[in-house]
């Protein structure tokens, strides 16, 4: 809820139905501020974490793992989502069966009765409603659920994968995911990714623990805290990637507009013996594609999304990159005018790098003698100047890319520093510099000396040029990739 000053706070909302007579009903709500209760729960969570550390120190943890308070979905929340799914799928509980749950207490039984009365009130008025009002009614339900603050974040933080999958398989959650209002400004999703990359390995170094201190109670406590934080970060990252996967899996029936059209034409289609495909028109397909593109664009335009995903673990990065949401965003970036011009400029520089090396230092090997009249110094100087400019351009780009990765995350920088593709970016440039300098030094030395062996090519120069040429070709292939 929101106070008059604009600040927000957590509430507990209780609803009850009041019969005014004459078929008129009103619903009364009672709001309770539960800020202190949530603060107390956080204190209990911290106490449980401290107890787990103490238990690890005393050797009482037989499994050798952490004891954490599992985060699940409250039974009433799951039950309410089930009821809302029936409401949306069956036009106000028209065809929905009675909801049944196990392990009910007295409060939950009374809540069942109140919901049953609510279903009866809707069914009693359903015959007097037009199809347009029915459509408006479930649309209002989906819009209202989609605008609940932090709803998707709380559902994504369910620790049990089976429960989380069951929740996200509900039709109400599918339709909320398809609603762009559920994304909002995306701050909650970006915050999940930010929390998932905050734990770095240097925290172990920050603890100033030596090898001997690791076996102490303090050292084990620090290690346990770090392990728990890393597991929490992994859990948050998996939740964010799970959201991208679920958004990418939305189909045409999750579009509420198409869903209404299909339900309204269902009876006619069944009479004619048609199937589901006959209930879907070209306009429905276009509407679904248009709104799905808007949803993908809304998620893909979140500030720093790609940068944050790149910092995650490799398996999560691959899962995220395989989703249509991220693929469309990457395609949009790659084929933008700026990216196209940058790629064209890099391609031209790669060609200049190879051609200038083949016209400069490489042919100069065969003209090392100062008596060689076929040597063309103008061509050599021009090729060397072009080669220097190309090497400087690519070296500056490699350095800037490395600094950008290091600014994002040290783990990202060091994980990419020793890969094969990083080797193909730096090794050809270094070999080109060494070959050019070596050839230039030998040319200058032999221009001042008279020797019978001036025309002989030194072995180390042959080796440098022979290695540099294929490395340059590999760099071009890496650029094309």
**What does the H/E/C string look like for the chain?**
CECCCCCECCEEEEEEEEEEECCEEEEEEEEEECHHHHHHHHHHHHHHHHHHHHHHHCCCCCCCCCCCCCCCCCHHHHHHHHHHHHHHHCCCCCCCCCCCCCCCCHHHHHHHHHHHHHHHHHHHHHCCCCHHHHHHHHHHHHHHHHCCCCHHHHHHCCCCHHHHHHHHCCHHHHHHHHCHHHCCCCHHHHHHHHHHCCCCCHHHHHCCCCCCHHHCHHHHHHHHHHHHHHHHHHHHHHHHHHHHHHHHCCCHHHCHHHHHHHHHCHHHHHHCCCCHHHHCCHHHHHHHHHHHHHHHHHHHCCCCHHHHHHCCCHHHHHHHHCCHHHHHHHHHHHCCHHHHHHHHHHHHHHHHHHHHHHHCHHHHHHHCCCCCCCCCHHHHHHHHHHHHHHHHHHHHHHHHHHHHHHHHCHHHHHHHHCCHHHHHHHHHHHHHHHHHHHHHHHHHHHHCCCCCCCCCCCHHHHHHHHHHHHHHHHHHHHHHC
User: Does residue 453 have a pLDDT over 50?
Assistant: yes
The average pLDDT across 67-78 equals 64
The average pLDDT across 166-190 equals 89
pLDDT tier for residue 370 given thresholds of 50, 70 and 90: low
pLDDT tens string 419-428? 888 898 899 9
pLDDT of residue 382: 92
pTM: 0.57
pLDDT of residue 29: 75
pLDDT of residue 212: 46
Answer for the pair 18, 27: CB distance below 8 angstroms, yes or no: yes
Q: What average pLDDT does the chain have?
A: 75
- For 56-70, 276-290, 389-403, which range has the lowest pLDDT when averaged over its residues? 56-70
pLDDT of residue 254: 87
User: Does residue 393 have a pLDDT over 90?
Assistant: yes
Q: How far apart are CA 64 and CA 147, in angstroms?
A: 42
pLDDT of residue 60: 43
pLDDT of residue 465: 86
**Nearest residue to 259 via CA among 172, 324, 183:** 172
User: Does residue 389 have a pLDDT over 90?
Assistant: yes
User: Does residue 168 have a pLDDT over 50?
Assistant: yes
Q: How far apart are CA 27 and CA 29, in angstroms?
A: 7
Backbone dihedral region for residue 89 (phi beyond 0: left; psi -120 to 50: alpha; all else: beta): alpha
pLDDT of residue 47: 56
pLDDT tier for residue 40 given thresholds of 50, 70 and 90: low
- Per-residue b/e over 137-160, b at no fewer than 16 CB within 10 Å? bbbebbeebbeeeebbbebbbbee
Q: How far apart are CA 159 and CA 170, in angstroms?
A: 18
pLDDT of residue 352: 93
User: Does residue 333 have a pLDDT over 50?
Assistant: yes
What are the CA-CA distances from residue 223 to residues 53, 68, 69, 78, 213 (Å)? 10, 15, 19, 36, 11
pLDDT tens string 110-161? 444 444 544 444 444 444 444 444 456 778 888 888 888 888 888 998 888 8
User: Among 231-235, 247-251, 333-337, which range has the highest average pLDDT?
Assistant: 247-251
User: Does residue 59 have a pLDDT over 50?
Assistant: no
User: Does residue 398 have a pLDDT over 70?
Assistant: yes
CA dihedral 390, 391, 395, 398 (to 10 degrees): 60
pLDDT of residue 42: 64
Answer for the pair 360, 469: CB distance below 8 angstroms, yes or no: no
pLDDT of residue 451: 55
pLDDT tier for residue 90 given thresholds of 50, 70 and 90: confident
């Amino acid at each position: 809820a929101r106070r008059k000053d604009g600040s927000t706070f957590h509430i507990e909302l209780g609803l009850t139905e009041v019969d005014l007579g004459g078929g008129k009903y009103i619903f009364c709500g009672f709001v309770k501020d539960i800020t202190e209760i949530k603060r107390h729960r956080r204190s209990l969570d911290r106490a449980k974490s401290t107890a787990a550390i103490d238990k690890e120190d005393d050797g009482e943890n037989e499994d050798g793992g952490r004891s954490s308070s599992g985060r699940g979905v409250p039974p009433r929340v799951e039950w309410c989502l089930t009821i809302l799914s029936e409401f949306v799928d069956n036009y106000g509980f028209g065809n929905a069966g009675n909801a049944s749950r196990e392990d009910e207490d007295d409060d939950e039984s009374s809540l069942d009765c109140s919901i049953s009365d609510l279903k009866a009130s809707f069914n009693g008025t359903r015959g007097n409603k037009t199809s347009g009002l029915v459509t408006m009614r479930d649309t209002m339900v989906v819009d209202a659920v989609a605008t609940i603050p932090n709803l998707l974040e709380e559902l994504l933080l369910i620790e049990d994968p089976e429960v989380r999958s069951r929740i996200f398989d509900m039709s109400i959650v599918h339709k909320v995911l398809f609603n762009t209002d559920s994304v909002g400004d995306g701050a909650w999703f970006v915050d999940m990714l930010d929390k998932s990359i905050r734990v770095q390995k240097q925290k172990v170094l920050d603890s100033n623990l030596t090898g001997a201190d690791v076996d102490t109670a303090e050292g084990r406590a620090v290690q346990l805290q770090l392990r728990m934080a890393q597991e929490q970060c992994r859990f948050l990252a998996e939740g964010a990637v799970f959201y991208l996967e679920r958004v990418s899996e939305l189909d045409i029936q999750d579009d509420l507009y198409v869903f209404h059209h299909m339900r309204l034409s269902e009876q006619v289609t069944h009479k004619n013996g048609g199937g589901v495909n006959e209930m879907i028109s070209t306009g429905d397909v276009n509407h679904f594609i248009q709104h799905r593109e808007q949803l993908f664009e809304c998620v893909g335009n979140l500030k720093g999304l790609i940068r944050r995903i790149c910092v995650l673990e490799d398996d999560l990065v691959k899962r995220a990159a395989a989703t249509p949401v991220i693929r469309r965003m990457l395609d949009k970036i790659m084929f933008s005018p700026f990216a196209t011009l940058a790629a064209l400029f890099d391609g031209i520089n790669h060609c200049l790098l190879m051609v200038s090396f083949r016209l400069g230092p490489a042919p100069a090997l065969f003209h090392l003698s100062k008596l060689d009249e076929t040597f063309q110094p103008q061509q050599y100087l021009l090729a060397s100047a072009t080669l220097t400019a190309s090497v400087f351009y690519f070296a500056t780009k490699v350095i800037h890319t490395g600094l950008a990765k290091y600014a994002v995350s040290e783990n990202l920088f060091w994980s990419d520093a020793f890969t094969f593709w990083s080797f193909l970016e730096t090794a050809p440039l270094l070999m080109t510099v060494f070959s050019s300098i070596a050839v230039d030094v030998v040319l200058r030395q032999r221009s001042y000396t008279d020797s019978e062996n001036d025309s002989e090519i030194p072995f180390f120069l042959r080796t440098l040029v022979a290695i540099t040429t294929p490395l340059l070709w590999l760099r071009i292939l890496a650029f094309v990739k």
